[in-house]
Structure 1
Amino acid sequence: MRHPSLIAIALACVATGCTFEPKYERPAAPVAATFPASGVYATQPATNAGDTASGRAAVDIGWREFFSDPRLKRLIDIALANNRDLRVAVLNIDAARAQYRITRAQLFPAINAQAAKSVQRTPLDLSPSGQTISGDYTAGLNASWEIDFWGRVRSLKEQALEQYLSTAQARKAAEISLVAQVANQYLQMLAVDDLLRITDDTLKTAESSYSLTKLQFDNGTGSELDLRQAETIVEQARANREAQARARAQAENALVLLIGEPLPPDLPPGHGLDDQKLLTDIPAGLPSELLTRRPDIMQAEATLRAANANIGAARAAFFPSISLTSSFGTASPTLGGLFKPGSAAWAFAPQIKLPIFAGGQNLANLDLANVQKRIEVARYEKTIQSAFREVADELAARSTYDGQIGALERTTFAQSRTLELSQLRYKNGVDSYLQVLTAQTNLYTVQQSLVNARAARLENLVNLYVALGGGWIANTGDAPRAADAPATVGAASAPVAASAKSTD
């Protein structure tokens, strides 16, 4: 026999009433025991007094504490209330909950009330009573019940429960991701605002230089080459401004989509890009802690558990199914005699079905269930590896951005002085105007790089906070909500138990 172990399992089930589900064992995490800590990871960012995580893990830090900008906090509140993707994630929980209840209902008998009338015609030569038309009236209760002797229905119920829990974790991941998306989009808007200010300042300076150069050219004291070079800087700045204005409008549109409504006119004042005081010293902890911090990992494990439970249902299909059907009520050839004494009627029909030959269908179903479990094991392990990589990437970025920004700040100062000296040398006739234009272009370029680096550093801190599992609680000290908790704002969701397992 291809699966002889099923016989031993069956004997055990006869004695204990267990299911055929294999014992679940969590796969070992296929990552290193610790995050990288040497080389590029060794440098830790500076913290401001009072703006510190104080050793708390990301999951214990509310996003209201992590972000300091009151405008950003308000935008996150609106997004959690109105974002349509989050509403879909919440409604998916309701759908998975309903599917679980449907599957669980198969464990209980089904009872129906029924009343019926039947009329039939019998040929006269075959009718004992000599009447060709006869009828019956019946009324009573019908009951049917599949005795889950081998645990097939219980395995399906467990599978539906784990799928429900997986959906709940997917909702949790969606909400955390939404917090990060709103924050990063807001930071991008602030960065574009800074770029627009730099471009406006550069354009103003370039236009002033162009006016002076044109005056010199008109008076015959300047060359057309100097004029065209000055004009090039002006037009380049104008082109950049148009592109940045477009990017600013599109960034706002993206933010409006995330929050699910137009930007309210009564938003509180916000902070500038340089004044965003995010927590920079959140400890990374150990990779093993990601198993309980990250909802995407918990979602993958719940899906794996569902696949494990499905094996139990596939194994149970090899053994007899036992069902009971019964009815009790009254029967009479006339409607008036339906409830008279002596009209009671009942029937009891136990049934057992033993699979003998199905063309290999049951074997194929069991093989499929085992393959699906191996697939989910691989997906679970890949989710852990991806989470490890995300945290490691963000740790590497956190360790290097301060140094990069410091270098860009010094470069900006140097380029600013270079421009001042170039202008002075040009006015004294020492250098050509090309040196001034080159210095002006270099300063403009490094100023843009500095703004982009500052925005990237802030986005890195947001991404690290989320990668470590933060963003689920609003205020530090709040008791974490269950993953299947109904939304407090936004789309309505039916109340649920604190734990779906409590309904077993």
Structure 2
Amino acid sequence: MKTSTRFTRSAFPSALSALAIMAMLSACTVGPDFQRPAASSSQHYDQQAERQPAEQRFDMGQRINGDWWTALRSAKLDQVMRRAIDGNLQLLAADATLRQAAASVAAAEGSLFPQVDFAAAAGRQRTHTGADPSIANVYAIGPRVAFDLDAFGGLKREVEGQQALTDLQKHRYEAAYLTLTGDVARQALLLASANAQIQAVQSLLANDAKNLDLVQRAQQSGSTTRIDVSLAETRLAEDRTLLPPLAQQRDAARHALSILAGKGPADWIAPDFALEEFALPANLPVSLPSEMARNRPDILQAEAELHTASAAVGVATANLYPRVELSASLAQAASGNGGAALWGLAAGLTAPIFNGGTLKAERQASVDGYNASLARYRQTVIQSFGQVADTLQAINHGAEQNRAQDDALRAAGSSLQLNQQAYAQGENSLLQVLEAQRAYQQALLGQIRAKTDRYLDTVQLFVALGGNSVGVFGQKLATREHADQQPL
């Protein structure tokens, strides 16, 4: 008996290993192997926008290098951006979700290996083996191994699907990063624009107050009437109404920057920005459509969803085929005063015969789901092309608008100066001066808004092209691992 027990314990793992190796060598994987969608053959977004001369030159076929916002040449923006990237709560949530997805992949991969469990049981039983019943203590203890051969690759397709979901979460992190950096730049520019407009309105109010003082002096000397004084007072009061909305825009942008940095508005106050602190890039790199489709996180998300749908087709296909499972057990069992070592090997096969068409319907549903994902992917791609085309046109039209606003400001400034001189010489009325002043005010604020729009369009172009955000999580992970390896 002892010799038999020793042979059994040595033969058990060898037999199990042989079966496992044979199973892995003989397994196949049914269902479609995922093929990445072909890149777009288009070489243009909007040929008219690309050919149209603009103050900002489009470098077609060039990629964005490094952090895109550095093209605006604002050290203050870079500091705020770094703080937001480190503290943004949505980015932290995306990071945690990605880690969760990676853990799910590891859990799914575990099903490809033998599953080893340890079981122990003890009890007391009564048996009738003779004239008198006997009562004895019983126990059994030992490991059990189960291994699904995955002969048709259903488990492998499930792992593939989980890996695709992890890729999806990685691209969602990149999309959150891209959205965050774009929002920080936009809010900083809106804050700078509000400050510039507030400064312009304050200058206008100073002129209004000066005009009112001059008119009041003239009225006291009898050279003008109370009507002119009333007009000057009305203009001053009307121009004062311009400040509260601009102050609200300034405060809202500052609060938004605090929230983007993961802080409440009372816990961290973003610095003030001025438009003069930014530089408008003269050359704008514009990658080709085929390359842009590989560098936008939302397109890569749609691609990962397509991969997940493809893996689901494989799982549903494998469910149509038999399933084979190997199991083995080794236990030390005893009853009463006797004991023995028990081992066993078994193979089980489960094959679908009739299920009312459920499995075929599930496979067809997964195929339809794949086709739906493919259509969504294609829609995402062409929408991204449209966004870039819109932004290219906006940059060109913005340059035209800016030139027109510059011309309007020069003309309004000249008209205001002439009307003020004529009024001082008694050649026209105060109403004409105030109308000229209103035109100058509108031209000045219009120029600031046009300049702001050019910056915002530039930011939008960087974001529409993907902002070089693909791969940022890998860079973050490498930095984190390097920091963990440093000695304390």
Note whether the superposition's TM-score is higher than 0.5: yes
Match of 1:439 in 2: 436
Question: What residue ranges of structure 1 are gaps of 5+ in the alignment?
Answer: 1-12, 48-52, 474-479, 496-504
Cα pair 2:257 2:270 within 8 Å, conserved = no
Give 3-state SS (helix, strand or coil) of 2:32's partner. coil
Q: Distance in 1 between matches of 2:66 and 2:24?
A: 51
- What's the offset of the Cα at 1:482? 5.7
Cα pair 1:70 1:268 within 8 Å, conserved = no
- What's the offset of the Cα at 1:246? 1.8
Of 418, 421, 443 in structure 2, the residue corresponding to residue 421 of structure 1 is: 418
Verify: 1:252 aligned to 2:254, yes or no.
yes
Q: Distance in 2 between matches of 1:22 and 1:387?
A: 28
Question: What residue ranges of structure 2 are gaps of 5+ in the alignment?
Answer: 1-22
State the identity as a percent.
Answer: 27
TM-score by length of structure 1 reads 0.83
Q: Distance in 2 between matches of 1:78 and 1:383?
A: 31
| Deviates further, 356-365 or 30-39 | 30-39
Of 194, 211, 220 in structure 2, the residue corresponding to residue 192 of structure 1 is: 194
Alpha-carbon distance change, 270 to 216 in structure 1, aligned in 2, over 3 angstroms: closer
Verify: 1:34 aligned to 2:44, yes or no.
yes
Match of 1:379 in 2: 376
Q: Distance in 1 between matches of 2:91 and 2:271?
A: 27
Of 391, 407, 431 in structure 2, the residue corresponding to residue 394 of structure 1 is: 391
Verify: 1:117 aligned to 2:122, yes or no.
yes
Q: Distance in 1 between matches of 2:70 and 2:325?
A: 58
Verify: 1:94 aligned to 2:99, yes or no.
yes
- What's the offset of the Cα at 1:154? 0.5
Q: Distance in 1 between matches of 2:247 and 2:104?
A: 49
Alpha-carbon distance change, 444 to 398 in structure 1, aligned in 2, over 3 angstroms: same
TM-score by length of structure 2 reads 0.86
Of 273, 279, 282 in structure 1, the residue corresponding to residue 284 of structure 2 is: 282
Q: Distance in 1 between matches of 2:190 and 2:56?
A: 23
Alignment of 1:323-334 (within 5 A): 323-334=325-336
Q: Distance in 1 between matches of 2:377 and 2:45?
A: 19
Give 3-state SS (helix, strand or coil) of 2:294's partner. helix
Cα pair 1:307 1:373 within 8 Å, conserved = yes
**Paired AA for residue 53 in structure 2:** T
Question: Which structure shows the bigger proportion of residues in helix conformation?
Answer: 2
| Deviates further, 278-287 or 344-353 | 278-287
Cα pair 1:328 1:344 within 8 Å, conserved = yes
Cα pair 2:191 2:272 within 8 Å, conserved = no
Alpha-carbon distance change, 450 to 177 in structure 1, aligned in 2, over 3 angstroms: same
Alignment of 1:438-477 (within 5 A): 438-472=435-469
Q: Distance in 2 between matches of 1:467 and 1:154?
A: 36
Cα pair 2:188 2:257 within 8 Å, conserved = yes
Cα pair 1:304 1:376 within 8 Å, conserved = yes
Q: Distance in 2 between matches of 1:106 and 1:290?
A: 37
**Paired AA for residue 116 in structure 1:** A
| Deviates further, 254-263 or 373-382 | 254-263
Q: Distance in 2 between matches of 1:417 and 1:494?
A: 61
- What's the offset of the Cα at 1:215? 4.1
Give 3-state SS (helix, strand or coil) of 2:29's partner. coil
- What's the offset of the Cα at 1:64? 6.2
**Paired AA for residue 285 in structure 2:** P
**Paired AA for residue 54 in structure 2:** Q
Verify: 1:261 aligned to 2:263, yes or no.
yes
Alignment of 1:42-441 (within 5 A): 42-46=52-56, 57-63=62-68, 65-121=70-126, 126-128=128-130, 130-131=132-133, 133-217=135-219, 221-261=223-263, 272-334=274-336, 343-441=340-438
User: How many aligned residue pairs are there?
Assistant: 462
**Paired AA for residue 304 in structure 2:** A
Deviations 1:143-169 (A, max 9, x none): 111110011000111111111111111
**Paired AA for residue 42 in structure 1:** Q
Q: Distance in 2 between matches of 1:344 and 1:400?
A: 86
Deviations 1:29-52 (A, max 9, x none): 6784422222685113247xxxxx
Of 468, 477, 486 in structure 1, the residue corresponding to residue 477 of structure 2 is: 486
Cα pair 2:81 2:184 within 8 Å, conserved = yes
Alpha-carbon distance change, 348 to 401 in structure 1, aligned in 2, over 3 angstroms: same
Q: Distance in 2 between matches of 1:299 and 1:106?
A: 26
Q: Distance in 1 between matches of 2:285 and 2:117?
A: 60
| Deviates further, 413-422 or 393-402 | 393-402
**Paired AA for residue 150 in structure 1:** F
Cα pair 1:189 1:248 within 8 Å, conserved = yes
Q: Distance in 2 between matches of 1:20 and 1:471?
A: 37
Match of 2:4 in 1: none
- What's the offset of the Cα at 1:23? 3.6
Higher relative contact order (CA 8 A, sep 6+): 1
- What's the offset of the Cα at 1:228? 2.9
Q: Distance in 2 between matches of 1:73 and 1:360?
A: 60
Give 3-state SS (helix, strand or coil) of 2:123's partner. strand
